[in-house]
Amino acid sequence: MNQITIHPTHRKLAEIAFYNQDPKTGKINVKSIPVNLLEALLRMNLEVVRTTDELKNLSFLVYGTGDTEWQHGVCKALDDLAKSFEK
């Protein structure tokens, strides 16, 4: 079974949302969250998503070339990226 990996950035965003959530309505009070904190986490999130999507798209394109060595390299880069989430 594949393990679902969650990047530390996503965990931090979830933590911030949890602590700023109204217990009665469930709404998140984003006005109480420092903008610089959100901006930094959103930038990190952007990089994680962009890098992951770029590697997945590259893997798909490389598959079409039939170059298995190249594809293995791209897949290794994806695996290494996923492992870095655990740090």
Which domain covers residue 54, as residue numbers? 8-84
Residue 1 covered by a domain: no
Residue 49 covered by a domain: yes
Interacting residues of 29 by C-beta distance below 8 A, sequence separation 6+: 20, 21, 22
Domain count within the chain: 1
Interacting residues of 87 by C-beta distance below 8 A, sequence separation 6+: 8
Residue 3 covered by a domain: no
Interacting residues of 51 by C-beta distance below 8 A, sequence separation 6+: 81
Residue 2 covered by a domain: no
Work out the burial of residue 58: count CB atoms within 10 Å of its CB; fewer than 13 is exposed, 13-18 middle, 19 or more buried. middle
- Segment 39-84, tens digit of pLDDT: 999 999 999 999 999 999 999 999 999 999 999 999 999 999 888 8
Residue 50 covered by a domain: yes
Pair 8, 47: CB distance under 8 Å: no
pTM: 0.74
